[in-house]
Amino acid sequence: MQPLALLLLGVVNLWHPVDPQNALVIDTTKGRLIVQLEPRLAPSAVARVKRLARMHVYDGLLMWRVVDRPGFNFVQTGDPHNHDGDRSALPDLTAEFSAKVPSSQIRFVRYGRAPEGFLGSIPVGASAVTGTVVAWGAYCDGAMGMGRERGVDTANAEIFFMRGTTRYFDHDYTVVGRILEGLDVIRAAAVGVPPAHPDRMLRVRVLADLPPSQRPSVEVLDTRSPLFDQLVARARRVHGADFSVCDLADPVRP
């Protein structure tokens, strides 16, 4: 058996469980999402999403804006009354478009003048590759962001999920996480503003709040592992000079 096959079988332990305190389980009319949250990028927004989930604010809300255009492809939801700009009873949040993190916490896959990599399972851009760097979430497919109004400090409850890559959202909307499982669910959502027959989030829960017997068991690949190195090398060969962090996704397994 080849070394890669051995790694895939887990003979070498390169996988680690999702942090249940920073993950969402979202059951929708199209299926289930498991979303990894990243408080190192957006601590206030992550705390807000978890709080609203625990308050059951998100339960039953419509995916009322589903856009399907090249370069502009996302699902908007989380508005408490299913209208753009709706708010919870909680105060608006200060923008968290970027954060300072030690470069040692980022697994870089692209260097040079525009370094990119992974902070945990979240694709990010960064200002440098050494020292304490400014990092921001990259709006690759599967990214979860906080919606807002015209003012930068107006995020409240609205959330959205990317069905494709839209990098010009970088720096303009707070990234709170990324879909680990269920991207096909988001891509299957009924399209429209609003759709004729919109899908909805039936129930949104923090993974840690589920009874142990009901928790979906998901592991993610260590982005510093030899297997991930092989995935990076393969993506570089395929995409050449156009290679970006959005050409990769941190693999998951049950």
Backbone angles phi, psi at 52, to 5 degrees: -65, -35
pLDDT digits (tens, 9 = 90+) for 38-67: 999 999 999 999 999 999 999 999 999 999
CA 188 distance to own-chain centroid: 17
Say whether pLDDT at 30 is over 60. Answer: yes
The CA-CA-CA angle for residues 210, 249, 152, to 5°, reads 75
Instruction: List, edge to edge, every strand of the sheet that includes 15-17.
Output: 15-17, 219-221, 252-253
The CA distances from residue 64 to 32, 159, 196, 199, 213, in Å, are: 18, 11, 9, 8, 33
Tokens of 113: 């003048």
pLDDT digits (tens, 9 = 90+) for 138-160: 999 999 999 999 999 999 999 99
CB-count burial class (<10 Å; 0-12, 13-18, 19+) for 53: buried
| pLDDT the model gives residue 12 | 52
| pLDDT the model gives residue 84 | 84
Comparing CA positions, the residue from 62, 27, 37 lying closest to residue 174 is: 37
| Position 70 confidence tier, pLDDT thresholds 50, 70, 90 | confident
pTM, 2 dp: 0.93
| pLDDT the model gives residue 254 | 87
Comparing CA positions, the residue from 98, 99, 198, 79 lying closest to residue 148 is: 79
Say whether pLDDT at 6 is over 60. Answer: no
| Position 7 confidence tier, pLDDT thresholds 50, 70, 90 | very low
- Give the residue-averaged pLDDT of 119-131: 97
Three-state DSSP at 72 gives strand
| Position 83 confidence tier, pLDDT thresholds 50, 70, 90 | confident
CATH superfamily of 22-208: Cyclophilin-like (2.40.100.10)
| Position 210 confidence tier, pLDDT thresholds 50, 70, 90 | very high
CA 119 to CA 115: how far, in whole Å? Answer: 13
Q: Are 157 and 80 in contact (CB under 8 A)?
A: yes
